[in-house]
Amino acid sequence: MIIAPSPHVLIVEDDRDIAQLVARYLRGNDIRVTTAENSREMDRALAEGSVDLLVLDLNLPGEDGLDICRRLRGNNSPLPIVMLTARGEEIDRILGLEMGADDYLPKPFNPRELLARIKAVLRRRTVERPDPVETTRILAFCGWELDVRLRELFNPVHARVPVTAAEFDLLHIFCQRPGQVLSRDQLLELTQGRIAGPYERSIDVLVSRLRQKIEDDPKEPRLVKTIRSGGYLFTPTIERH
C-alpha cells in the first residue's frame, strides 16, 4: 500500500506568534509546514523544495501579499494561494481574488477554519483518478477545450491558457451545466463547498477573471452572461470527448 505524502504548506507571515501558532496546529493535523517572514524567505523556500499551497498574509514588510500574488500569477505559477486579510476588509478580499488568490480568510481567524480552507483548496487541485464509468476527458466549447483529467485549459489554437484552481473549478461547473442560470450562492457552494457570507463577492471576481481569459471582449461577454437578479448563464453548447 502506497501512502500519499503529507501536503507541504508554506506560511508567509511576519507575525511570528501567529505563524508559530498556525504552524503548530497544522503540523498536528498531518501537514508539513515551512514558515517565512517576507518575500525573500518565501522565494528561498519555494526554490528549495516542493510546496503544495501558500498561506500568504496581505500585510507584509517590503513586497506585500498582493504584489507577491501578482508576481506569482504573472509568472504563470499554478501554486494554490490562500490569502490572509486583516480586519476582514471587503476591498482586501476582492483585490486578493483579482490578483489570483484561490481563497481568503479574514483575521482574526480560527486555525481550524484555515485548515478547512487549505484542505478544500488542495482537494480541488488534486487530479483524481478517472472514474472507469466516466469516459469524458475533454469538455469543448467554441474551439476551447477543458481537460478535466489534467485540469488544463486550451484556447482555439490549442495553446495552454494558465488558470488557477478556482478558475478551473468555476469553468468546469459552467461546462457541466450549460444553459442553466446559476446563482452566486449555488456557484460558491458547488466550487468551494461553503455558504456565502455577507458581502460575498468572490464569485463575481472569479467570473471577471475567467472572462478576461476566454471572452473575445470581456466587457461584452458572450460565453458567460450575467442574468440580472439571477446569477450567471454559460451559453455555449458543450461537446464531450
Any idea where the domains of the chain sit in the sequence? Answer: 8-125, 138-240
Rg (CA), the chain: 18
User: What is the pLDDT, as a whole number, of residue 154?
Assistant: 97
**Is residue 228 classed as helix, strand or coil in its secondary structure?**
coil
What fold is seen in the domain 138-240? Arc Repressor Mutant, subunit A (1.10.10)
Q: What pLDDT does residue 133 have?
A: 41
138-240 has the same fold as 8-125 = no
Residue 1, pLDDT score: 37
What is the rounded CA–CA span in Å between residue 27 and residue 33? 7
Single out the residue of 7, 79, 82 nearest to residue 43, CA to CA: 79
The pLDDT score that the predictor gives to residue 129 is: 40
The predicted pLDDT at position 4 comes to 54
**Predicted TM-score (pTM) above 0.75:** no
Measured distance CA(165)–CA(179) in Å, rounded: 23
All residue ranges of the chain with pLDDT < 70 are 1-4, 87-89, 125-135, 193-200
Q: According to the model, what pLDDT value does residue 199 have? A: 45
Residue in 63, 67, 61 with CA at minimum distance from that of residue 96: 67
Q: Which CATH superfamily is domain 8-125 in?
A: Response regulator (3.40.50.2300)
